[in-house]
Every structure is written in structure tokens, then in C-alpha cells.
């Protein structure tokens, strides 16, 4: 039986990696993938707590998070395709039309 602390620590490590990815990379696809990584690490913490509490409702919440992530990816990638068609770039620094 692995202690739950290890799972939470791993989840925190993965989340931090995702945060650093969003902050440092300028390729919008990799930023998007880092967001997926963060959602996934939150899922891992949820499942670990569900196991520690011996309560299956945490797994149900994870199920909903996965659904929302799938919807987010569909809309987000459609937006990216639209942006790429008009701006011809995937560098977020070039997408600054609304900057004042």
C-alpha cells in the first residue's frame, strides 16, 4: 500500500511542471498541452483522496473533469485553427490584436 502523501506529492510535481510549461513556452500548442497536464494531475490527486477516504465519489468527479477537458480541447483546438487561418502563427506573442 503506497502512502497517499506520495500520490499528492507526485500530483503537485506534475501540476508545477504544467504551470512552468504554460509560463515559459510560447508555442500555443505546448501551452495547451501543459494545461491538459495540470488537469490530469488534479485528477490524480482526486483519485488518490478517493482511495484514502474509501469513497468512490471522488472517482465520479474525476469522470466529470475528463469530460470537461474533452470539451475544452475540442473548442480550444477549433479556436486555434481559426486563429492560425487568420494570423498564420502559433506564437502567442504575435497574437496581440486586442492589446491596447
Q: CB of residue 97 vs another protein: minimum separation in angstroms?
A: 15
Q: CB of residue 75 vs another protein: minimum separation in angstroms?
A: 5
Nearer to another protein, 3 or 100 (CB): 3
Q: CB of residue 37 vs another protein: minimum separation in angstroms?
A: 6
CA 47 – CA 42 distance, rounded (Å): 9
SS3 96: coil
Q: CB of residue 11 vs another protein: minimum separation in angstroms?
A: 9
CA 11 – CA 65 distance, rounded (Å): 15
DSSP 92: G
Cα–Cα nearest to 45, from 81, 88, 12, 94? 12
Nearer to another protein, 81 or 98 (CB): 81
Nearer to another protein, 14 or 97 (CB): 14
CA 14 – CA 20 distance, rounded (Å): 10
Amino acid at each position: 500500500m503506497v502512502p497517499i502523501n506520495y500520490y499528492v506529492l507526485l500530483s503537485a510535481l506534475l501540476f508545477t511542471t504544467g504551470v512552468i510549461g504554460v509560463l515559459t513556452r510560447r508555442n500555443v500548442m505546448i501551452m495547451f498541452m501543459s494545461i491538459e497536464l495540470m488537469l490530469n494531475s488534479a485528477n490524480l490527486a482526486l483519485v488518490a483522496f478517493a482511495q484514502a477516504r474509501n469513497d468512490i465519489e471522488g472517482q465520479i468527479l474525476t469522470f466529470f473533469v475528463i469530460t470537461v477537458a474533452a470539451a475544452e480541447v475540442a473548442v480550444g483546438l477549433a479556436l486555434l485553427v481559426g486563429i492560425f487561418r487568420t494570423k498564420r502563427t502559433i506564437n502567442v506573442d504575435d497574437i496581440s490584436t486586442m492589446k491596447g
